[in-house]
Amino acid sequence: MKPLTMLVLLTTFGWATLVLAGCAAQQLTLGEKERIVFFGDSITELGVKPNGYVSLIRGELKKTHPKVEIVGAGVSGNKVPDLLKRLDKDVLRKKPTVVVIYIGINDVWHYALKGRKGTPKDDFRDGLIDLIERIHKANAQVILCTPTVIGEKKLGENPQDLMLQDYSEVIRKIASERNLILCDLRKAFLDHLRENNRFNKEKGILTTDRVHLTQAGNALVAETMLKKLGI
């Protein structure tokens, strides 16, 4: 079979169009009536506040797609196993047409925190696949995000860079294998910091504490996600 050069999959009822190039999904073209759920941890929980990334996305979509509904479903401290436990209650019951999964920081970070447990890589991968399959069975599309940073120093100089890179590759591979839209937030952050962190600070540019987002960090997440929503 020859590789696909371009394929458009249309859903019914005015839902999103999924655009694929090669074997990797690139972006959505939003329909008139969408319900988009942003599913994640404290970064998403904070994202619904004024100037948080979820609020910034809602504001932009009001200009072009005023009937699109935006729902934040972030809970502090969550990892992939936690998302699995609350998927039905916090996401599927809301009958989304699109689910943006933005997770992974705590799955890695908690390995370094006293009294916390990270998520083994195999469990992380299997849990993500389970989430995706259950969301697809509910007739919703998935946008899969890589985690951003745990520290803003040059790549390789933050203690958990190698593990975070490894888990990000798991996400990229799943997205490629399953033709999911990939929102590569980690790449966006690393590219931005390479240009804008000339003094090699560990925080204060895109994050307040090496993890949670500054206003500039929220703006970068929103901008990167909006591109994947076709905006």
pLDDT tens digits, residue range 130-179? 999 999 999 999 999 999 999 999 999 999 999 999 999 999 999 999 99
Could you say which DSSP state residue 158 is in?
S
Distance from C-alpha of 108 to C-alpha of 127, rounded to nearest angstrom: 14
What pLDDT score does 26 carry?
Answer: 86
What pLDDT score does 73 carry?
Answer: 98
Q: For residue 7, is pLDDT > 50? A: no
Distance from C-alpha of 41 to C-alpha of 21, rounded to nearest angstrom: 30
Q: Using CB atoms within 10 A of its CB, is residue 60 exposed (0-12), middle (13-18) or buried (19+)?
A: middle
> Burial letters for 172-188: b for 16+ Cβ neighbours within 10 Å, e otherwise?
bebbeebebbbbbbbeb
Q: For residue 12, is pLDDT > 70? A: no
Q: Look at 26 and 209; give whichever has higher pLDDT.
A: 209
Distance from C-alpha of 84 to C-alpha of 156, rounded to nearest angstrom: 31
What pLDDT score does 25 carry?
Answer: 60
- Extended beta strands in the chain, E state: 7-10, 17-21, 24-29, 35-40, 69-74, 98-102, 141-145, 181-183
Distance from C-alpha of 34 to C-alpha of 36, rounded to nearest angstrom: 6
**Residues 59-89: pLDDT tens digits?**
999 999 999 999 999 999 999 999 999 999 9
Please give the structure tokens belonging to residue 167.
């888990």
Q: For residue 15, is pLDDT > 60? A: no
> In which band, very low, low, confident or very high, does the pLDDT at 227 lie, cut at 50, 70 and 90?
very high
What pLDDT score does 160 carry?
Answer: 97
Reference 38, options 100, 80, 105; nearest CA is: 100
Distance from C-alpha of 98 to C-alpha of 158, rounded to nearest angstrom: 33
- Looking from the CA of 116 toward its CB, the CA atoms found within 13 Å total 15
Q: Using CB atoms within 10 A of its CB, is residue 106 exposed (0-12), middle (13-18) or buried (19+)?
A: buried
Q: What fold characterizes domain 33-228? A: Rossmann fold (3.40.50)
What pLDDT score does 9 carry?
Answer: 36
Q: How far is CA 71 from CA 22, 25, 78, 94, in A?
A: 31, 23, 17, 9
| Contact present, 102 and 48 (Cβ < 8 Å) | no
Q: For residue 1, is pLDDT > 50? A: no
Please give the structure tokens belonging to residue 220.
């970068």
For the chain, give the mean pLDDT.
Answer: 91
What pLDDT score does 11 carry?
Answer: 39
**Residues 195-207: pLDDT tens digits?**
999 999 999 999 9
Count of CB atoms situated within 10 Å of the CB of 142: 23
What pLDDT score does 115 carry?
Answer: 85
What pLDDT score does 17 carry?
Answer: 58
Reference 181, options 3, 36, 13; nearest CA is: 36
